[in-house]
Structure 1
Amino acid sequence: MFSYRHGFHAGNHADVLKHMVLIAVLKHLTAKPTAVTIVDTHAGAGLYRLDSDFAGTSGEAQDGIVKLLASPLAAEPPPLLADYLELLAGFNPSGRTKIYPGSPFVTHALMRQEARDRLWLFELHPTDSKALAGHVDQLERKRQVSIRREDGFEGLRALLPPPSRRGLVLIDPSYEIKSDYAKVAHCIQESLKKFATGTYMVWYPVIPRPEAHELPRRLKTLANQAGKPWLHATLNIGQAPHEPGEAAGRPGLTASGVFLVNPPHTLKAALQAALPPIAEVLGRGRGQGQAVEAGG
């Protein structure tokens, strides 16, 4: 249950998609003066070093943020990507990208003290939960952050609806256990009944598993049944080619998706501008591409 560690995957192509969208949603929500409550159901350690043993072992950041920063696209990025790169640069003032912020620190960077925004972080992994607490303790505005070492699916229930009636719920479990897919769908269904106007953002891996392909279809159905708008975006970097006679290794995660209920109305167009050049830069070959669709 506790074998997944996001440190191996920090800064990969899936993080690029997830955090770029997360920043866009947060900027939209914080444009109004009312307080926003953000709940991160599977927070991880919060901060990651790209020069650590974890990141070095997997090398996934090399096919993600490192490759993106080294490309000409980083010099003239579309607005959605520009916001993401600007926030990342704030964590690396030396100009060398060594620190990668996970979703808790991406969120915290955009929270407003004067509006009394609140961030709730859930993390069950004993090591990552301890690391998360240590990282948060270094923040100047740590009073706006609450950490719980418990199941985020369960902990979320007591927080909805938030006092301000404005909020974002980010759901991105490891999906190591296939029951996580059903839990995500049930969580969205239950949460929409308690907090119908909230923004919900689900990240998931696009892998050859029936549950993974069924999840976005199930989420579309739930959003449509609730009469709520939705957005679905995917990014696929494709499989790297191998030399003739060389056995093909395990490709690792090549694609992921984000599904949002009650997304910002400007997000579809922004993603349609940003994802094609990102897919071109990060693409490795067969299967690469991207897609954005919306409804409701």
Structure 2
Amino acid sequence: MNYRHAFHAGNHADVLKHVVLLALCDALTSKPAPCFALDTHAGRGLYRLDGEAAQKTGEAQDGIARLIAETPRQPAIRRYLAAVQACREQHGAHSYPGSPWLLAHALREQDRIALCELHPEEAQVLGSHFEADPRMAVHARDGYAAIKALLPAKHGAQKFARGLVLIDPPYEAQLDEFDFALAALREGLARWPQGMFALWYPIKQRRSLHTFYRKAAGLSAKSSLLLELLVRPDDSPLRMNGSGLLLLNAPWQFDGLMQPALAAMAGALGETGASARVEWLKAPL
């Protein structure tokens, strides 16, 4: 599976990922201490839904466009839609924010953000978007290796006790990618045990992920939470039927915040057989 951001910008997977990302950012900024965010597979940070790549797939029409039309009332979704609108007011009506833009939008002046992108052209565009923002550091490098290089989080002499690592790989290695991601999570937890970690993953057939779930439950995090959105039954190995996020060290009562939001997304974006899942692999003590 080759998951290039530009072709899928604004689809159901982006909706899930970005609703959750903003809620995590809001949890971080609810306390005055500065925080750090690392986006390991950042892409170009900002997309055009009227561009050739997005128009080729048309996936945004069944994602962000449908959600805007539904106007759900859940606070987490309204927060996300407000961020998309802010992006469009700044960059044009057909713009869509990637995770780097959302991190820049949601975090504060005292916070710091590291963005990693291995693809040279994407990294160049990413850097051009944020070159004037002193909070942002763009690294044209492998995101998995950056976890070892950049954690524990610090900026000069300042060390960050709180923060977030978003791992959003393209899954070009298909199921083998889960082993790479789990290894990165182990490394990250060993280096920054108090950090929050979010791993996005595609779902074709959920039964193929049982080994991943078992290994994820064995990680050394204080808690492990699954958030999954299926827009159709997971009965075909040939298409992405949904996606999920594995959250390690999730904020207090985050499951209660996400439960109604995911249910609303399944209703707004899903076909017959759509579903949402909020489940602790390891509940917090």
Same fold judged by TM-score > 0.5?
Answer: yes
Indicate conservation of the 8 Å contact 1:41/1:171, yes or no: yes
Question: How many residue pairs were aligned?
Answer: 275
Query: Quick one: distance in 2 between partners of 1:227 and 1:146?
Result: 27
Q: In the TM superposition, what is the alpha-carbon distance from 1:13 to its structure 2 partner?
A: 0.3
1:283 maps to which residue? 270
**Does 2:204 align with 1:207?**
yes
* DSSP-derived class of the 2:73 partner: coil
Amino acid at match of 2:191: K
Q: Larger radius of gyration, structure 1 or 2?
A: 1
1:108 maps to which residue? 104
Query: Quick one: distance in 2 between partners of 1:177 and 1:56?
Result: 26
**Does 2:140 align with 1:149?**
yes
* DSSP-derived class of the 2:129 partner: helix
Query: Quick one: distance in 2 between partners of 1:11 and 1:218?
Result: 30
- CA separation of 1:78/1:264 partners in 2, compared to 1, >3 Å: closer, same or farther? same
Deviations 1:160-213 (A, max 9, x none): 112122111000100111332111101111211111111001100012487644
**Does 2:163 align with 1:158?**
no
* DSSP-derived class of the 1:143 partner: coil
2:156 maps to which residue? none
Alignment of 1:3-42 (within 5 A): 4-42=3-41
TM-score (norm 1): 0.87
Indicate conservation of the 8 Å contact 2:34/2:111, yes or no: yes
* DSSP-derived class of the 2:89 partner: coil
Amino acid at match of 1:261: L
Indicate conservation of the 8 Å contact 2:166/2:198, yes or no: yes
* DSSP-derived class of the 2:13 partner: helix
Query: Quick one: distance in 1 between partners of 2:252 and 2:275?
Result: 23
Deviations 1:261-286 (A, max 9, x none): 1111132011111111210111122x
Query: Quick one: distance in 1 between partners of 2:86 and 2:35?
Result: 22
Query: Quick one: distance in 1 between partners of 2:84 and 2:45?
Result: 13
1:216 maps to which residue? 213
Q: In the TM superposition, what is the alpha-carbon distance from 1:126 to its structure 2 partner?
A: 1.8
Indicate conservation of the 8 Å contact 1:18/1:258, yes or no: yes
Indicate conservation of the 8 Å contact 1:45/1:131, yes or no: yes
**Does 2:114 align with 1:123?**
no
Query: Quick one: distance in 2 between partners of 1:32 and 1:95?
Result: 30
Query: Quick one: distance in 2 between partners of 1:55 and 1:267?
Result: 32
Q: In the TM superposition, what is the alpha-carbon distance from 1:97 to its structure 2 partner?
A: 4.4
Deviations 1:43-80 (A, max 9, x none): 00100011111111001101100011112xx1x52111
**What RMSD in Å do the two structures reach over aligned CA positions?**
2.3
Query: Quick one: distance in 1 between partners of 2:34 and 2:120?
Result: 31
Query: Quick one: distance in 1 between partners of 2:269 and 2:218?
Result: 31
* DSSP-derived class of the 1:92 partner: helix
Q: In the TM superposition, what is the alpha-carbon distance from 1:127 to its structure 2 partner?
A: 1.9
Q: In the TM superposition, what is the alpha-carbon distance from 1:96 to its structure 2 partner?
A: 7.7
- CA separation of 1:209/1:84 partners in 2, compared to 1, >3 Å: closer, same or farther? closer
- CA separation of 1:282/1:229 partners in 2, compared to 1, >3 Å: closer, same or farther? same
Query: Quick one: distance in 2 between partners of 1:90 and 1:21?
Result: 18
Pick aligned residue for 1:264 from 251, 258, 262: 251
Query: Quick one: distance in 1 between partners of 2:84 and 2:198?
Result: 21
Indicate conservation of the 8 Å contact 2:205/2:237, yes or no: no
TM-score (norm 2): 0.90
Amino acid at match of 2:112: R
- CA separation of 1:227/1:203 partners in 2, compared to 1, >3 Å: closer, same or farther? closer
Indicate conservation of the 8 Å contact 2:116/2:141, yes or no: yes
Query: Quick one: distance in 1 between partners of 2:44 and 2:195?
Result: 25
**Does 2:183 align with 1:186?**
yes
Query: Quick one: distance in 1 between partners of 2:226 and 2:199?
Result: 10
Amino acid at match of 2:99: S
